[in-house]
Amino acid sequence: MPVHLAASYKSPVQIARVVSEAWGSANLYCPNCQSPSLSPAPNNTAAVDYFCPACDSPFQLKSKSSPIGDRIVDAAYEAMRRAILSDATPNLYALHYERVSWRVRNLILVPHFAFSISSIEARAPLAAHARRAGWVGCNIVLKNIPPDARIRLVADGVPTTPDAVRESFRRLKPLEEIGVKERGWTLDVLRVVRSLGKAEFANGDVYAFAPQLEKLHPNNRHVRDKIRQQLQVLRDRGFLVQVERGVWALKE
């Protein structure tokens, strides 16, 4: 990473921002098309750091010197909630670098259409004595995003080929066709299906997660019916194969 670019900065936060954004400009590419690079967004563009110069896809880069865990700190909860419901979230690159060596260790991509309300959580409001007292931020809860939608570009310092990344992105694209409100259910059921760890499974395996899904979607009183519907949606979008009535297989 080009740490020399931050020689005039003292703040660790500013140093990390300058170095990671410069690295992104030199190394990130578009998974949605064949563009080999991304263009920096104009200054003060909210929630977006880059645009694809070919297809205009927006991207945000979040970087940290600690490993990527279950959560990524994000901005205001209400703003993120509105962005998800209006289908206006950018694609997210999450980068983990080594602070001493300034080498990239891990990099994942979460496509913009893989965010749902269940993938964010509100943080505690800022204290009364804070400058922005009462402000509520949010975390992106990565474990609530299907593993398919956490595309690895770098794993333990080893990069994935752009062709493989674009193929993973392409396989997820059918999710983009689903309306944003319905898509939340589809993503949650896909995450449950992946968590089963089975190549073939039955409706009952997914029904076991009905209490969890009911908490995520409290306004739906017919959770089992919704699960069956979403399994059919995943079949129609190429994620599952229906073996027989009530029995499904992953489509690899």
Residues sharing a CB contact under 8 Å with residue 92, sequence separation 6 or more, in sequence order: 59, 60, 62, 72, 109, 110, 112, 140
pTM (predicted TM-score): 0.90
Over residues 99-125, the mean pLDDT reads 94
Specify the pLDDT at position 127: 85
pLDDT in tens, 154-182: 999 999 999 999 999 999 999 999 998 89
Specify the pLDDT at position 219: 81
The region of weakest confidence among 10-14, 195-199, 202-206 is: 10-14
Q: Which CATH architecture has domain 181-250?
A: Orthogonal Bundle (1.10)
| Tokens representing residue 95 in the block | 């980068």
CATH code: domain 3-173 is 3.40.210.30
The answer to whether 57 and 51 have CB atoms below 8 angstroms apart is yes
pLDDT at 252 over 80: no
Model confidence at 131, pLDDT cuts 50, 70, 90, reads: confident
Residues sharing a CB contact under 8 Å with residue 190, sequence separation 6 or more, in sequence order: 146, 148, 234, 239
Report the alpha-carbon distance of residue 2 to residue 23 in Å, rounded.
7
Report the alpha-carbon distance of residue 146 to residue 71 in Å, rounded.
14
Cross-strand bridge partners of residue 58? 51
Average pLDDT value for the chain: 93
Model confidence at 239, pLDDT cuts 50, 70, 90, reads: very high
Which position has the token pair 């259910």? Answer: 185
What are the angstrom distances between the C-alpha of 251 and each of 184, 190, 198?
21, 12, 12
Q: In this structure, which amino acid lies at residue 29?
A: Y
The answer to whether 32 and 38 have CB atoms below 8 angstroms apart is no
Model confidence at 220, pLDDT cuts 50, 70, 90, reads: confident
Report the alpha-carbon distance of residue 20 to residue 87 in Å, rounded.
26
pLDDT in tens, 40-89: 999 888 889 999 999 999 999 999 999 999 999 998 999 999 999 999 99
| Tokens representing residue 20 in the block | 């990671």
Specify the pLDDT at position 218: 83
* Domain-wise residue ranges, the chain: 3-173, 181-250
